[in-house]
Structure formats: C-alpha cells, structure tokens
C-alpha cells in the first residue's frame, strides 16, 4: 500500500509537467477504483481528483457516483471531498450532473465522519458558487444533531458553521 501511495504521489506531480504521458496511467487508476481494498479505491479516487488534466476530470464522474454509495465509510468520505475537488476543476460539469444532489443525500449517512465530510464539501462548493444555496432540511438537521455526540471536536465546527454561515 505504501508503494502504491508513493507511485500515485509521483503521478500527481509528474502529471503537472507531462500531462500527455500521465494519461497512460488513467486505465490503471480506473481499475483501482474497483479494487476490493477500500484504501486502494479511496487512494485512486483522491489521486484522480488531484490531477488537473481534462480527461482525468471527465473520467471521475461516473465512478464517483458509485463510490459515493460505497460500503466503506472511508471511501464515501473521500468521495464527498472529491465532489468539491471536481467542482474546483469544472463547476459546469458538476452542476450539470447530480453529484451535488448525491452529496446532499450523504447528510443522512449513518457514519458521522461521512456526514461531516459531505457537509464540509457542500460548504466548500457553496462558498465558491454564486448560484448554489446551502439549505439543510429538517431530516438532515435532525440527523446531524443526533450524531453530534459521536463526532470529534474537530467535526463540531463544521456542523455549526453549516448552520450559521451567510444565507
């Protein structure tokens, strides 16, 4: 796993200098998005999202939709942050897809880390968008309040900022 992590880190840096050659690694990364190991899936997703090459951005959307519903909470958490990262790369593509709606659904996840990651990603998108409004419905707000005792002290500010930020 450490070797894979280092290879992916090298790829992210290498892609900045030679994006055309980095494209040769895309099929391998796409395969790793379906790996049985959740850490490999999350690492591949995070790596793809860090590469500022159009083909990588476009290739992320379809598997991301699946990974937002992954059985592993670490993969779902990584997928939530990937939506915000993709928004940074291509706002129009993300707004035209249903990724933001799927991110909203993650506010009802059973895992507190996934919920806080989804809220943090939504807040990040909302802060950079002039058209998207951040609203939390009663069901999601109730879920957030319910899991708050299970969250670490690092997660609490994310929840409170989500409720008290500009309208």
Provide mean pLDDT across the span 66-91: 96
- The CA-atom distances, in angstroms, between 111 and each of 62, 82, 108, 143, 147 are 23, 18, 9, 10, 8
DSSP assigned state of 57? H
- Mean of the per-residue pLDDT values of the chain: 84
Can you give the pLDDT at residue 152?
Answer: 58
Q: What is the largest CA-CA distance in the chain?
A: 48
Provide, rounded to the nearest whole percent, the portion of the chain with pLDDT above 90.
Answer: 49
pLDDT range class, residue 167, cuts 50, 70, 90? very low
Between CA 156 and CA 48 the distance in angstroms is 29
Provide mean pLDDT across the span 50-64: 91
Give residue limits of the domains in the chain.
Answer: 2-164
* Token pair of 100 as six digits: 């933001």
| Contact between residue 107 and residue 144 where contact means Cβ atoms under 8 Å apart | yes
Can you give the pLDDT at residue 143?
Answer: 72
Can you give the pLDDT at residue 161?
Answer: 56
CATH class of 2-164: mainly alpha
pLDDT digits (tens, 9 = 90+) for 111-165: 988 988 998 899 899 888 878 776 677 777 777 777 777 665 555 555 555 555 5
Would the pLDDT of 37 be above 50? Answer: yes
DSSP assigned state of 132? -
- What does the angle CA 35 – CA 152 – CA 124 come to, to the nearest 5 degrees? 65
């Amino acid at each position: 796993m450490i070797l894979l992590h280092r290879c992916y880190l090298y790829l992210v840096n290498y892609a900045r200098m030679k994006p055309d050659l980095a494209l040769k690694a895309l099929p391998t990364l796409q395969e790793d998005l379906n790996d049985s190991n959740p850490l490999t899936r999350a690492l591949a997703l995070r790596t793809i999202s860090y590469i500022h090459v159009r083909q990588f951005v476009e290739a992320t959307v379809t598997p991301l939709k699946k990974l937002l519903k992954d059985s592993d909470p670490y993969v779902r958490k990584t997928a939530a942050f990937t939506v915000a990262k993709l928004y940074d790369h291509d706002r129009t593509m993300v707004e035209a897809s249903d990724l933001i709606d799927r991110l909203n659904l993650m506010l009802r996840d059973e895992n507190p880390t996934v919920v806080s990651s989804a809220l943090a990603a939504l807040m990040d998108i909302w802060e950079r968008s002039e058209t998207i409004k951040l609203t939390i419905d009663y069901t999601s707000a109730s879920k957030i309040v319910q899991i708050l005792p299970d969250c670490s002290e690092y997660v609490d500010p994310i929840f409170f900022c989500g409720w008290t930020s500009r309208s």
